[in-house]
Chains A and B, each alone.
Chain A
Amino acid sequence: MSILWAISHWLYETPFAVGIRESDWAFSMIETVHVLGLGLMAGTIAIVDFRLLGLVFRRQPVSRVLAQVLPATWIGFVVMAVSGGLLFVASAEKLLHWVFGAKVALLALAGLNPLIFHTTVYRHVEGWDLEAEVPLQARIAAVTSLVLWSAIIVLGRAVAYVE
């Protein structure tokens, strides 16, 4: 805790962090960009999840749906991560609470989930690419993804209400 506190305090006091924090416009602009990036990322991920659950594009191969949205997902991820990093730096020492901790933990899980998906069930996608009903493991990954991203967004908003 004390090392974490020291690091976040140091970050918090850098001129760069102070500049963002005390700005008239930059902070709110970065917040806005963060939400746009997150919308692009979580939105395109949801399209893939919905396809895996057989809710949309049922006649489209899973691999094609995934390939079509993936560039947008990555752009959203980069925008979200960079803006989120800036927001973190600007407020670092005030974010050492359980809500933000939980958000970061869920972000890690949300990163792990597609990693597991791609290295296991998706390796044999040619066997079920055209199925409306995909293997159970893939459907579980889709539900996990939707739940995790929803929870991350809820926790992100809840950061503002921590006492």
Chain B
Amino acid sequence: MKMTSIALTLAIALTGAAPALAHHSFAAQYDANKPVRLVGKLSKLEWTNPHSYFYLEVTGKDGKVTTWGCEGANPGALSRRGFKKGDLKLGDVLTVDGYLAKSGARLIDARRITLTGGRTIFGGSAGDGGPGDTAAGG
């Protein structure tokens, strides 16, 4: 019954909102009619399952710097495309083409990531039904 008491404690204590952990299809969160290109400095990298996140510091037209989250595929999918965590370091300037989140948050679905050296990687989750998805599965 230790499990139960831990579970109850957790359940009672959980009230606030927190960052999302999402594993989902493209359409669940992103709008295919709102393509966007972000260019910015990599400020944080979450090389995580079930999706990875690249955070970019993007300078707007007004000179203001905002942080954007770019959601990509899971580490296994990225590494099968020849993309390793070590290929990136904080401060690298990346160009990310993707689609805006439906929620209006500073979050995009990263379909194509262009590294500092010009190398391009498909960043999306295979089989998620998003634009440019040609894979049959994950």
Contacts and interface: CB of A to CB of B under 8 A. Distances in A.
Interface of A: 1, 3-4, 20-25, 27-28, 31, 81, 90-91, 93-98, 100-102, 104-105, 107-108, 111-112, 159-163
B136 interface: no
Contacts of B29: 163
B15 interface: yes
A104 B76 contact: no
B77 to A, nearest CB: 9
20 contacts: A1-B13, A1-B15, A22-B48, A22-B85, A24-B79, A24-B80, A27-B76, A81-B3, A94-B21, A100-B14, A101-B10, A101-B14, A101-B15, A105-B7, A105-B11, A108-B4, A108-B11, A111-B3, A160-B50, A163-B22
Contact of A163 (B1, B3, B23, B103): B103
Given A94-B19, A95-B21, A97-B18, A24 B76 contact: yes
A159 B79 CA distance: 25
Interface string B10-32: 11011111111111100011000
B14 A162 contact: no
A22 B3 contact: no
Given A104-B11, A108-B8, A108-B11, A96 B74 contact: no
Interface of B is mostly: loop
Contacts of B59: none
Given A1-B15, A22-B75, 11 more contacts: A3-B13, A22-B48, A24-B79, A28-B49, A28-B74, A28-B76, A97-B14, A101-B15, A160-B50, A162-B22, A163-B29
Interface residues of B, number: 33
A161 B8 CA distance: 23
**Most chain A CB within a 10 A radius of its CB, from B7, B24, B76, B103:** B7
A107 B50 CA distance: 23
List of 3 A-B pairs having minimum Cβ-Cβ separation, nearest first? A101-B14, A27-B49, A105-B11
A100 to B, nearest CB: 7
B18 A94 contact: yes
A93 B10 contact: no
Contacts of B75: 22-24
B80 to A, nearest CB: 8
A31 B17 CA distance: 24
Contacts of B47: 22
Contacts of A102: 11
Contacts of B15: 1, 98, 101
A161 B29 CA distance: 8
B49 A23 contact: yes
